[in-house]
Amino acid sequence: NAGVTQTPKFQVLKTGQSMTLQCAQDMNHEYMSWYRQDPGMGLRLIHYSVGAGITDQGEVPNGYNVSRSTTEDFPLRLLSAAPSQTSVYFCASSYSRASGYQETQYFGPGTRLLVL
């Protein structure tokens, strides 16, 4: 089991460029999510998905798009990067929460993004 994988590990963008951060999991988890981590602010939820074809916004969704065409993959797209999006991005996954039972989230290694 590779767990949760993220690519790339590090990326430098210029303002206005677009890119996609990749996230994949091989644990058959239904729930996947994206967070950004900024100094002194902990992790903040950007978007999440409770299954293929279903996505929803988190705490800080502006400037980011997501889609979930398969159970395994949950890419995060920046359509027009801004310096304010410089951050470390974490993807996480867990089993379904449909029953109301809170499953533990497992995190990928992170992607460090620098927007100039």
- Interface with other proteins by CB under 8 A: which residues? 31, 33, 35, 40-45, 48, 50, 56, 58-59, 88, 90, 92, 97, 100-102, 104-107, 109-110
In the complex, what is the shortest distance from the CB of residue 55 to other proteins, in angstroms, rounded to a whole number? Answer: 11
In the complex, what is the shortest distance from the CB of residue 110 to other proteins, in angstroms, rounded to a whole number? Answer: 5
Task: Take residue 24 and report the two structure tokens written for it.
Answer: 């994949």
Please enumerate in sequence order all residues whose Cβ is within 8 A of that of 61, keeping only pairs 6 or more positions apart, or say none.
46, 47
Query: Closer CB to other proteins, residue 26 or residue 59?
Result: 59
Query: Closer CB to other proteins, residue 26 or residue 79?
Result: 26
Least Cα distance to 80 among 60, 68, 62, 58 occurs for 62
